[in-house]
A and B are shown apart, each in its own frame.
Chain A
Amino acid sequence: DADVTQTPRNRITKTGKRIMLECSQTKGHDRMYWYRQDPGLGLRLIYYSFDVKDINKGEISDGYSVSRQAQAKFSLSLESAIPNQTALYFCATSVGQGHGYTFGSGTRLTVV
């Protein structure tokens, strides 16, 4: 099993629908992150969490919300999806200062 698991892998949804992307990890890391990746724009941080009670906005949090249900689970929600939220979404974990991230396999989301 993968260390960082994202579900679903692919999703097509309609404008205005609420959608949740899920991330779970078995690495035991406290720090979890949600990024989106768009061609030409790179990886941009949406939200991050350092423990269950510590959730922080990233550079592009508008239109998104998150929930840290447990140390191992961090979900991203689009309250009312719009087409410009079509992107590849990655969850990542880290053990902390001075360490890199481990990424999940990604969720390709298309909003039509």
Chain B
Amino acid sequence: QKEVEQNSGPLSVPEGAIASLNCTYSDRGSQSFFWYRQYSGKSPELIMSIYSNGDKEDGRFTAQLNKASQYVSLLIRDSQPSDSATYLCAVPNSGGSNYKLTFGKGTLLTVNP
């Protein structure tokens, strides 16, 4: 069973700070990585994808990937109260056409005004 691990939180940061969310995965062959945001009672929404080692920036969000360490992170700069949500890391199984994502249990982020 492929595993995706996240700190459950809650992670609490003040408005304007940087929030750092972390994820480790067990499948060394995984090639793509995804971050989803889920508001309470709502469906997950894809906010970032990353495929290569290094950083990928999109607005206030930066995804960081280190395949050697099997580690992917999400940084949220200038955090806003509207960023308060659960963030899910998702990693696909490697190899073949049997494509499906395994999700971490999520990290609950609270941004305090």
Contacts and interface: CB of A to CB of B under 8 A. Distances in A.
Majority SS at the chain B contact face: loop
Chain A interface size band reads: 20 to 34
Contacts of B32: 98-99
B69 interface: no
Given A31-B99, A42-B104, A96-B99, A90 B1 contact: no
Nearest to A105: B43
A102 B46 contact: yes
Nearest to B99: A97
Given A103-B43, A104-B43, A94 B99 contact: yes
B51 A106 contact: no
A62 to B, nearest CB: 16
B88 interface: yes
Interface string A82-112: 0000001010001011111111111010000
B36 to A, nearest CB: 8
Interface of B: 1, 31-32, 34, 36, 41-46, 49, 51, 88, 90, 92, 97-106
